[in-house]
Amino acid sequence: MFRPGAVYSKCGVMLEGLHPVGATQGDLFASADPRASELFAAIDGLNDRYGRSTVRLAAEQRGARACDTKRSMKSPSWTTRLSDIPVAF
């Protein structure tokens, strides 16, 4: 609700990639496996029964640092610290 004298920030929500459930982006070099939906249904059923992430795909990494990035590839904080923004004279 609007209150006179209050400080407000502009905020937005973007919804991207909305598409029907059956629509997928095809791979130019691979053919769709007709058994894939049955496989994923079986994996989901096992995970529902025995707990989340009981069964995973081989491509999924495990461990505490599975999604961690390499620190040498970390970008500078130019977009999060005003004091670090480069200035051209």
Three-state secondary structure call for residue 72: helix
Give every CB contact of residue 39 below 8 A, 6+ residues apart in sequence: 33
- pLDDT 10s digits, 17-57: 787 877 777 777 777 788 888 999 999 999 999 998 888 88
Identify the DSSP state of 7: -
CA dihedral 18, 27, 39, 15 (to 10 degrees): -10
Q: What is the mean pLDDT of residues 9-23?
A: 79
Alpha carbon 6 to chain centroid, angstroms: 34
Q: 59 with 66: CB under 8 angstroms?
A: no
